[in-house]
A and B are shown apart, each in its own frame.
Chain A
């Protein structure tokens, strides 16, 4: 059970990597753009004329600010979609669409509930926000994750659902967005009632913090970090920064409310001797944490990554560390360990609280625009001078934090073997070597599914030879790079009823269980070694259950022939005439047509049209001689009811109309319209397989003829 939860959290964490990858870029844009367009800041440094509103630089920074901000503003839906993609087992694109739909529906439902219940004004201040243009509850990234995980669970449960025939259009993957939308319609309504209680709890903590000195500062720092994963930290700290919750102070003769407002008022007031620590206690703690502590954690994770993954992980961690250091955006680092080791995040939160408390105790007065990166430290600490800010304590405490974080992470990751990035081999990039895989399998019990998948892969010429795997109702459709490496015999030994090859396309026919086989094969391919397979494993030794009636030897060629008519394909034995059902005329497939049009089943030559027009002899350009016998006992109609469009020895292309039968007349005057499509001249080393079952259109694959090595 513990392993299960662990594995689940790991997958959740991995599924976060996709949306997280954009955060460093967005963070840099927002950090630089945001800091350098702050008018108070520009005025304070006399940069107003150079970078103030109306200048080209200002315009550039404004654009950067907005370009970065849009990502943070829409992080919830980005996480909803990214998380659904990461957690969906198959058909991930459907999960992505469903997540977007569910997200909109959930927030629209909440929005409607808000307006029904008195509008945004009736809610707690800070509780309501705009989500993708919808007035909804501030649920932050947490709201997105609820959607992502919920949709993925629904998707994995329902993406293969089979609905009754009438509703079959809505079955399978199409059902996923539908059920997701309905479920999150309900989730939205429920959230409207539940979420405010969660928010109220947060507000209550805020009140407590303000009344309790250094300890209160510690709790503030702890809570602020704890709420980040839920996207609730804004709800929590903004009152401190922007309202009387964070204190009031007389600055330059005016009463200023809110910690950040106080800081910026003092920044603009040249008479201030030292910035008010009572205000900056809610900000300064971020600096040692973000510039020093978290990069120490990143270095620890990098050093403990597997050697072969270091390069890949290094890029991720370095950019995450730089983002944190420069802009104070910490999610990229925090999310890398939050999900693999939640208790590590708790420890991190405790240290974060301590950082705020230390800054409070040491009287550090450095404020910030929105977060605690080096840019803000430089602008609001270093440039202001140590006398006004006591900023020097930040690097002093910071260096300690770096060391503490580094050694703490090294110790905990090693001790509990935490799977931080680069510590597992089954990541997105590195694949098992064949030796690794075999070693792993020899120690474990090799599952039957893997054995079959391995045979399929070998039969297809090895993983390196497989370019694409897909499936339809009954067959596995694979595109290979080199068709000569495909071993039909080996493929058949995996339980396939047939193998059809067309150029680089290989179709392996398994029947309805193909979806399971495909899933197993895809799982196997994820870890299989990327090489070609040239082995000569014979189908006989590979599996005794191999189709016994098949001629010995290898299939040297397979010819596929299309259905000449639209209708229902059946086994030839179901023909209501024993001369056909007993295969006296040769092997073939029965099609009960629902249209009278008969087309050429392949490129080839019309050998003859019988005088009574009911039967056509045909030779495909591959040399397969066929008889298409329209209806049973239709010879007795003497040619009535048939209109023929070709003559003897005429060359035709696949799909050309050969003749048209009057279905009404034939149904009325002959025992049956059942049309055996026969290959009358098969040689001993040729074996016919039926490719279609049930509805078939003229031109669809109907028959395969395997020619075996003699």
Chain B
């Protein structure tokens, strides 16, 4: 397993569109991904879990990935989170 930290910078946090985009992005990977933050763990492939986690702007997130290409997947997810703008 590999993990990386990232701070959520987009204004609405992981809500609606960002959450949907993140979930769609993460679903491409067969690896198991966990997003920890705000004291909760969420599966970023699940919109409901992402939304339920209530991740807002400024939250420090830990992206954990487990699987075959865990390192590269983890990098891609972090890059995606950083790129969120809405």
Q: Which residues of B contact A629 (CB under 8 A)?
A: 16
B7-38 contacts to A, CB under 8 A, are 12, 15-17, 19-21, 24
Asked whether any CB of chain A lies closer than 8 Å to the CB of B84, the reply is no
- Closest-by-CB residue of B relative to A578 is B17
B86–chain A nearest beta-carbon distance, Å: 9
B19–chain A nearest beta-carbon distance, Å: 8
B52 near A617: Cβ-Cβ < 8 Å: yes
Asked whether any CB of chain A lies closer than 8 Å to the CB of B3, the reply is no
| A586–B52 alpha-carbon span in the complex (Å) | 15
Q: Which residues of B contact A585 (CB under 8 A)?
A: 16, 19-20, 47
| A636–B13 alpha-carbon span in the complex (Å) | 11
| A627–B50 alpha-carbon span in the complex (Å) | 11
Q: Which residues of A contact B51 (CB under 8 A)?
A: 608, 610, 615, 617, 627
A615-662 contacts to B, CB under 8 A, are 615, 617, 619, 625-627, 629, 635-636, 648
Asked whether any CB of chain B lies closer than 8 Å to the CB of A584, the reply is yes
| A629–B48 alpha-carbon span in the complex (Å) | 11
A681 near B46: Cβ-Cβ < 8 Å: yes
Residue from B15, B46, B48 in contact with A635 in the complex, judged by beta carbons closer than 8 Å: B15
Contact string against B for A residues 590-623, beta-carbon threshold 8 Å, 1 for contact and 0 otherwise = 0000000000000000011011100101010000
Asked whether any CB of chain B lies closer than 8 Å to the CB of A680, the reply is yes
B17 near A579: Cβ-Cβ < 8 Å: yes
B54 near A608: Cβ-Cβ < 8 Å: yes
B52–chain A nearest beta-carbon distance, Å: 4
Main SS of chain B's interface residues?
A: helix
Max chain B CB contacts within 10 Å: which of A586, A607, A610? Answer: A610
Of the four ranges (under 10, 10 to 19, 20 to 34, 35 or more), the interface on chain B belongs to 10 to 19
Contact string against A for B residues 68-85, beta-carbon threshold 8 Å, 1 for contact and 0 otherwise = 000000000000000000
A220–chain B nearest beta-carbon distance, Å: 91
Residue from B20, B46, B54, B56 in contact with A579 in the complex, judged by beta carbons closer than 8 Å: B20
| A229–B31 alpha-carbon span in the complex (Å) | 87
Q: Which residues of A contact B52 (CB under 8 A)?
A: 607-608, 617, 648
A680 near B48: Cβ-Cβ < 8 Å: yes
Q: Which residues of A contact B48 (CB under 8 A)?
A: 607, 617, 619, 625-627, 680-681
Q: Which residues of A contact B15 (CB under 8 A)?
A: 610, 612, 615, 635
| A680–B19 alpha-carbon span in the complex (Å) | 11
Known: A629-B16, A635-B12, A635-B15. A586 touches B54 (CB 8 A): no
A607–chain B nearest beta-carbon distance, Å: 5
Known: A629-B16, A635-B16. A611 touches B47 (CB 8 A): no
| A681–B52 alpha-carbon span in the complex (Å) | 13
A586 near B56: Cβ-Cβ < 8 Å: no
A681 near B17: Cβ-Cβ < 8 Å: no
| A398–B12 alpha-carbon span in the complex (Å) | 103
A586 near B47: Cβ-Cβ < 8 Å: yes
| A612–B54 alpha-carbon span in the complex (Å) | 9
- Closest-by-CB residue of A relative to B46 is A681
| A610–B49 alpha-carbon span in the complex (Å) | 11
Q: Which residues of B contact A608 (CB under 8 A)?
A: 51-52, 54
- Closest-by-CB residue of B relative to A618 is B48
Q: Which residues of A contact B46 (CB under 8 A)?
A: 625, 680-681
Q: Which residues of B contact A584 (CB under 8 A)?
A: 17, 20-21, 24
A600–chain B nearest beta-carbon distance, Å: 16
- Closest-by-CB residue of A relative to B54 is A611
- Closest-by-CB residue of A relative to B45 is A681
| A270–B81 alpha-carbon span in the complex (Å) | 123
- Closest-by-CB residue of B relative to A626 is B48
A561–chain B nearest beta-carbon distance, Å: 14
B42–chain A nearest beta-carbon distance, Å: 10
- Closest-by-CB residue of B relative to A632 is B16
Max chain A CB contacts within 10 Å: which of B19, B46, B47? Answer: B47
Known: A584-B24, A617-B51, A681-B48. A611 touches B16 (CB 8 A): no
Q: Which residues of B contact A648 (CB under 8 A)?
A: 52
- Closest-by-CB residue of B relative to A584 is B20
Max chain A CB contacts within 10 Å: which of B15, B16, B17, B24? Answer: B16
Q: Which residues of A contact B16 (CB under 8 A)?
A: 579, 585, 615, 629, 635
Contact string against B for A residues 111-126, beta-carbon threshold 8 Å, 1 for contact and 0 otherwise = 0000000000000000
A-B contact pairs, 25 of them (CB 8 A): A579-B16, A579-B17, A584-B17, A584-B21, A585-B16, A585-B19, A586-B47, A607-B52, A608-B51, A608-B52, A610-B15, A611-B54, A612-B15, A615-B15, A617-B48, A617-B51, A625-B46, A625-B48, A626-B48, A627-B51, A635-B12, A648-B52, A680-B46, A681-B46, A681-B47
* Chain A interface residues (CB < 8 Å from chain B): 579, 584-586, 607-608, 610-612, 615, 617, 619, 625-627, 629, 635-636, 648, 680-681
- Inter-chain pairs besides A585-B16, A610-B54, A612-B15, 15 sampled, C-beta below 8 Å: A579-B16, A584-B20, A584-B21, A585-B19, A585-B47, A608-B51, A608-B54, A610-B15, A611-B54, A615-B15, A615-B16, A626-B48, A635-B15, A681-B47, A681-B48
* Chain B interface residues (CB < 8 Å from chain A): 12, 15-17, 19-21, 24, 46-48, 51-52, 54, 56
